[in-house]
Amino acid sequence: MPVDPHPPSAAIAALGAGALSDALGRGELRSVEVVDALIGRIHALDAPETPTALRAVLEVSERALAEAASSDTRRAHGAALGPLDGVPVLVKDNIEVEGLASCAGATALVDRPVPADASLVSSLRDAGLVVLGATNLSEWANIRSEHSTSGWSALGGLCGNPWSLGRSAGGSSSGAAAAVAAGFAPLAIGTETDGSIVCPSSLCGVAGLKPAVGSVSRTGVVPISASQDSPGPIARSAADVALLLGALFGASLERADASELRLGVARTWMTGHGATDAAFEQAITALAHELGSLADREPPSPGEQEHEDELTVMLCELSDGIDAYLARRGGEGPASFAQVVEFQAAHADVELAHFGQDLFERALSLGGRGGTAYGPARERNLAWARSACLEPTFEGLDVLLAPAWGPAWKSDLVLGDPGSPASPACRPAAIAGWPIATVPIALVEGLPVGVALVARPGGEAALVALAAAMERAVGLLEDGSLSPAWAPPARG
């Protein structure tokens, strides 16, 4: 059985957000006690010099204990509290938080204080959540190079996976998913452009949800793609994802009945990894016992044209988006995307030590959304994702299911990501801006694998309901299987 390497904080670390909130409400715990224990856990397990170092947390907030004390005071005075008041949350480092560096892992943004909390962070604070700190990520949300190593940033180093320390935590919300899995916080906020919440959540054995594009504010978030970026919740259960999503939305998430949902299985979206696909088949069989039969569908998979069009769109939107972001943020340092590229080239010993910035350079050459490549690429991409893929597949359906990723691959700073077999499910949902979620369904060779759940815009409640039904069907939460093993790096 897995052994928690830091027992003094194990009891608190094991609590999900809902259970923690209940304990706070009953007076069994104080928020200050929880936050102090989790900060101690991070220092004990995540410091670079420790053998268990994940490098999942970039920075702990100096204000966290004061925020926790404020929550305890509100509770003691009988104030009306939301369901997450006093509960800690970690925030990906590409999201602005007052008092934190918020650098997207890049040295180009160091020493440029953020002007204010990102809008979504204000929503978290309005709900009473305690911002515990910032998580490591794949630098610039993994858009810098086609030869990158997921989970690496110049500021944070290489994030590991608590299931096996030499394996990848995925990207780009690497630290957010690894930190939740490791019990550093019950909740985290990631961002997704194409798979950046679903991938690390699947690899780390936690639940994650990318809401429909535009449903959560991106003001104060370092951008990649205006048409695809979406911040979203990561937690250890679908119920906790729903609570955090409600805080992001500013209202409790509506309830949906999983038994009333019309479900389909994307038979053409398997991973090609035998054990992962077999685990998916077992999971949907178990789900069918609870909810009834699922219809088979055969959506098209993206080809080279779809990949190139999406990449063109993202790179054109990236250069424009970073220009606008830097103008808003101010401070000393690069004032444009072109200057960021120059800065990183000038500091290649730090920034380009393991891989280059070929995608940044290509983005500069494309000329942004005003260039000739952008319009046709976006038009083709949308036509494929919506008209040729999702809309025909979703006729008569509410949610489409597929496996997500195979088991976590070994991290390699020399050769970059070898990757893991994956379903194509994230790509059409990314291009079209539709919501997508994941929860763990099995352990394969001791590593977690998840399911991908796709819904139409506005279908987040359906995703949460189905994710919870899947959790019940496979039983991993109940039997304690989702406890990371903290296995040291090994051959094979």
Q: Could you list the active site residues? A: 92, 172, 196
Alpha carbon of residue 466 to chain centroid? 19
Backbone angles phi, psi at 369, to 5 degrees: -70, -15
Backbone angles phi, psi at 317, to 5 degrees: -70, -30
- Dmax (CA) of the chain: 62
Answer positive or negative: Cα dihedral of 342, 345, 349, 350.
positive
Q: Are 131 and 121 in contact (CB under 8 A)?
A: yes
Round to whole Å and give the CA distance between 392 and 396: 9
Residues contacting 257, CB < 8 A, separation 6+: 465
Q: Respond yes or no on whether the N-terminal peptide bond of residue 196 is cis (omega within 30° of 0).
A: no
Round to whole Å and give the CA distance between 144 and 356: 7
Q: Are 84 and 243 in contact (CB under 8 A)?
A: yes
Round to whole Å and give the CA distance between 37 and 369: 47
Round to whole Å and give the CA distance between 16 and 19: 5
Q: Are strands 88-92 and 187-192 parallel, antiparallel or unpaired?
A: parallel
Round to whole Å and give the CA distance between 97 and 117: 5
Q: State in Å, rounded, how far the first CA of the chain is from the last one.
A: 21
